[in-house]
Structure 1
Amino acid sequence: MNPVILPAAPADAPSRATPASRNVRTIAACSIGNALEMYDFTVYSFFAMLIGKLFFPTDSAYGSLLLAVGTFGIGFVMRPLGALVIGSFADRRGRKAAMTLTIALMVVGTLGLAFAPTYASAGTWGSLVVVGARMVQGFSLGGEIGASTSMLMESGGFGSRGFRIGWQGASQGFAAVLGALSGAVLYASLDAAALESWGWRVPFLLGLLIAPVGLYIRSHLDETLERESSSEAQPLTELFSSHKSKIVRGVLSIVSGTVGMYLIVFFMPTFLVRVLHLPASLSLMAGCVSGATMAVMCIVSGLLADRMRSRKPMALTSVVLTALLIYPAIALMTSHPGVPLALAIVAVLTAISSLGGAHLLLLLMEMFPARVRASGLSVIYSIAVALFGGTAQLIVTWLLAKTGNPMSLALYMVVCGFITVCAISSLPETRTRAS
């Protein structure tokens, strides 16, 4: 009897894991990678004053802080380039390959920050290492958002894609919590000399521990980009020739959300210390509160998106309420400075601004066909973050220095909210499209 020879499975055949286990694995892979990358951004933000002193010394405290947050912003300048290169790669070669690349690049950037020599020991070379590391991180994140969010959206059914997308924002919230906790513990347990000498490097080194896990999980994911959707045609050519209007409206739709996240979640600890003169170890807890609130509310937002008939109403409601509440909230925080009140206000603002996050992401993702989806979201998100999110801390710090008015933060967010409301109102409703 001749033996029966079974055909070998193709190398890219999907695994036989159950749909539930695949969903868990995909969510974990996208969340771990995104959290690692946002964790490094968070830690840098929370240690901005110390990094400014060590790497960008000037005669003015505000000058050092401006240079530090300016370097923070340099990472965002690199995002559009990363979006073009890695986003196009994700639409041509697959989400899995792009996500593996982004987490590897983030490791390189984190290593640079963790081991950068200070200005005192290496002069401007130390400053250049920090700038270069931030540029690598920014390039990586420019492509991360499109690839990972596309995979989350495409990895399951239409009726649960909001829940999956919600983990994108939730992972950023968890990263903020971890970054804030590490900062709070170090500020509370180390003296100024130890913190300045080596303590500030510890959070970056700890962040590297999760990198092997993220790389392993991402390398074993099932690809979600259908082979017929991938072609030799350049996604960027189609994107900029057929979807220019969507890109412009999408960028303006993210203005309020990205400015709010980087000011409320990441800049608020610096604001509480520098402007309200609260203890550093306690005010850093604002990062924990805002991060935890963001993590929970982004998942809630995703669940609501799966149950509501339309995407736009909740996205608009979130932006309008944030714009209406930010001025009285900052005024109350300024007139009655104190940690408990500040934490409560930060929690409320974060909850409201996060409530429409999944709805807006779905609106943006569902506007594009799969063959340009990763490129489309990467370009929209990276441009919006580079122009508005990455510059938010720099602009507000400059306004605080020039005017001495703590309400500058609130006024800037109100203007951004108005822009976003107009933009979201012009987007097409996509809830009925099962694409």
Structure 2
Amino acid sequence: MESRDQLTPEKRRYFRRVIASALVGNMLEFYDLFIYGFLAVYIAKVFFPTGDTYTSLLVALGTFGVSYFVRPLGAICIGSYSDRRGRKAGMMLTIWAMGLGTAMMAFAPGYATAGIGGTLMLVAGKLLQGFSAGGEFGTSVSFVTEHAPRHRRGYFASFQVVGIGLATGMASIVSLMLNRSLDPVAIVEWGWRLPFVVGLLIVPFGYWLRSQLDETPEFVKSAKVANPVATTLMSSKARICAAIGVYSLAASTNYLLGVFIPLYAQRELGMSASDSMWGAIGYSAAQILLPPLFGAMSDRVGRLQMIVCGTLLTGVLCLPAFHWMVAQPSLMVYVTCITGLTACVMVFQGAMPSFLAELFPNAVRTTGLALIHNLNFTVIGGLSLLICTWLAQQTGSKFIPAYYVMATVGIALLSTLFFRIRVRSQSADQAALDAA
């Protein structure tokens, strides 16, 4: 009988389709997220006219953050559904729900046309996106991990991070082209809708790709539980809390280095809208190229070692990088700093999806993953743009994003102690059994 770990040419082709099917949903989730962040200045004028630019921007970013409070609900509902009905079933549900949310945002009438009704439609679309995205990460990571050979799970699961990089790159390029092709008045009048329409093109392709694949062998063979949410919370509370702490740095850097940095470059470094996008493009390039390398390394040296190494690198270099950007606000320094910081982040990000997936048994894996991802991104990530914008305005400091990242570095390092103690305890138990 052929070993499941043996990568024949046929299996390689199938695994490529598995990766692509999971990646496309993650890409749509983060593309919509980044586009909203990149265009927040224009969306604020269309849907939240307050007469004060700063207040309108805060309200728009607040809407961005509020949408994240429905993500844990999506994690519970869709994660539980996927643990009971299958990873493929969950992935088919999320791709269409995210598409519907994107369509509502793309075609919502502005405040000047429909008053509060248009604003509510935009907010409803953002909330639906948040709900569906709440189940996407856990479902797709479980799907890839359970299909992958055990000795290469780090490598295959790392492509979920590549999907975020592709989303950032796509959103950055679309925003760059929009800012260079249209003047600000045209963007406010109608141009801001175009990037959301582009995102809709991903939906039918993603649905077709996912429909061609089989359910994971592990899910088919495993026993099911009647209530995955209750089972997960009763058996894994300490593990979930520690994993949220470890994952907090991923949440802060994804939003601050990927979404917030163009806005930061415009407001704090005095760059044009088009030049500011080059930082996000540098971020996406590192996020596309590096996660598979570090994911593969985690298969050899261990997930936790890679996570600790990447966390330390980010903590050491984050504040100096922001100091350099502020002292010399040139395009070259800006892109170099963001790309270099992202490379540090990818050391731990490449190992993170497989690390999280391996914390849970098959029967509750999707629910556990979804809860960690969304509770973390709701508190640490979703509100980071609003918090950093407000703090920068109140304090006048140009280093608020760096301080925010440094805070999550501390949380992540402290949280790794739980897993290091757990590993040592398991090793000691095994050694006692071997001695007996």
Normalised by the size of structure 2, how large is the TM-score?
0.93
Q: SS where residue 350 of structure 2 aligns?
A: helix
Matches within 5 A, 1:123-162: 123-162=115-154
Residue 429 of structure 1, CA deviation: 4.5
Matches within 5 A, 1:242-253: 242-253=235-246
Residue 385 of structure 1, CA deviation: 0.4
CA gap 1:241/1:265 in 2 versus in 1, 3 angstroms: same
- Checking the alignment, whether the CA contact within 8 Å between 1:363 and 1:429 is kept in structure 2 is no
Q: SS where residue 201 of structure 2 aligns?
A: helix
Residue 62, structure 1, aligned to residue 44, structure 2: no
Partner residue, 2:229 = 236
> What CA deviation, in whole Å up to 9, does each residue of 1:46-90 have, x standing for no partner?
101111111111232221111111111122111100000000111
Whole-angstrom distance in 2 between the partners of 1:414 and 1:65: 25
> What CA deviation, in whole Å up to 9, does each residue of 1:127-184 have, x standing for no partner?
1111111110011111000000001101121111111111000011010000000000
Whole-angstrom distance in 2 between the partners of 1:388 and 1:163: 26
- Checking the alignment, whether the CA contact within 8 Å between 1:110 and 1:204 is kept in structure 2 is yes
Residue 286, structure 1, aligned to residue 285, structure 2: no
- Checking the alignment, whether the CA contact within 8 Å between 1:81 and 1:139 is kept in structure 2 is yes
Which deviates further from its counterpart, 383-392 or 249-258?
Answer: 249-258
> What CA deviation, in whole Å up to 9, does each residue of 1:361-410 have, x standing for no partner?
22221111000111001001100000110011111001011111111111
Whole-angstrom distance in 2 between the partners of 1:346 and 1:179: 17
Q: Partner letter of residue 135 of structure 2? A: G
- Checking the alignment, whether the CA contact within 8 Å between 2:225 and 2:363 is kept in structure 1 is no
Partner residue, 1:97 = 89
Matches within 5 A, 1:288-367: 288-308=281-301, 310-367=302-359
Matches within 5 A, 1:6-25: 18-25=10-17
Partner residue, 2:105 = 113
Residue 307 of structure 1, CA deviation: 2.2
Specify every segment of 5 or more residues in structure 1 that has no aligned partner in the other structure, as ranges: 1-15
Q: Partner letter of residue 112 of structure 1? A: M
Aligned mate of 2:80, from 88, 92, 102: 88
Residue 227 of structure 1, CA deviation: 2.8
Which deviates further from its counterpart, 227-236 or 128-137?
Answer: 227-236
> What CA deviation, in whole Å up to 9, does each residue of 1:321-352 have, x standing for no partner?
11221111111101111111100000001110
Partner residue, 2:21 = 29
Whole-angstrom distance in 2 between the partners of 1:130 and 1:304: 42
Whole-angstrom distance in 1 between the partners of 2:167 and 2:186: 24
Residue 263, structure 1, aligned to residue 256, structure 2: yes
Whole-angstrom distance in 2 between the partners of 1:180 and 1:87: 30
- Checking the alignment, whether the CA contact within 8 Å between 2:306 and 2:348 is kept in structure 1 is yes
Partner residue, 2:179 = 187
Q: Partner letter of residue 233 of structure 2? A: F
Partner residue, 1:10 = none
Specify every segment of 5 or more residues in structure 2 that has no aligned partner in the other structure, as ranges: 1-7, 431-436
**Root-mean-square deviation over aligned CA pairs:** 1.8
- Checking the alignment, whether the CA contact within 8 Å between 2:257 and 2:338 is kept in structure 1 is yes
- Checking the alignment, whether the CA contact within 8 Å between 1:173 and 1:290 is kept in structure 2 is yes
Whole-angstrom distance in 1 between the partners of 2:72 and 2:152: 30
Q: Partner letter of residue 406 of structure 1? A: K
Residue 176, structure 1, aligned to residue 176, structure 2: no
Q: SS where residue 117 of structure 1 aligns?
A: coil
Whole-angstrom distance in 1 between the partners of 2:423 and 2:346: 20
Q: SS where residue 360 of structure 2 aligns?
A: coil
Partner residue, 1:6 = none
Whole-angstrom distance in 2 between the partners of 1:212 and 1:362: 28
Aligned-pair identity in percent equals 36
Q: Partner letter of residue 371 of structure 2? A: V
- Checking the alignment, whether the CA contact within 8 Å between 1:78 and 1:138 is kept in structure 2 is yes
- Checking the alignment, whether the CA contact within 8 Å between 1:86 and 1:98 is kept in structure 2 is yes
Partner residue, 2:200 = 208
Q: SS where residue 337 of structure 1 aligns?
A: coil
Whole-angstrom distance in 1 between the partners of 2:311 and 2:401: 16
Residue 44 of structure 1, CA deviation: 0.7
Aligned residue-pair number: 417
Partner residue, 1:390 = 382
Which deviates further from its counterpart, 70-79 or 179-188?
Answer: 70-79
Whole-angstrom distance in 2 between the partners of 1:388 and 1:198: 32
Whole-angstrom distance in 1 between the partners of 2:417 and 2:307: 10
Residue 207 of structure 1, CA deviation: 1.1
Whole-angstrom distance in 2 between the partners of 1:402 and 1:232: 50
Structure having the larger proportion of residues in helix: 2
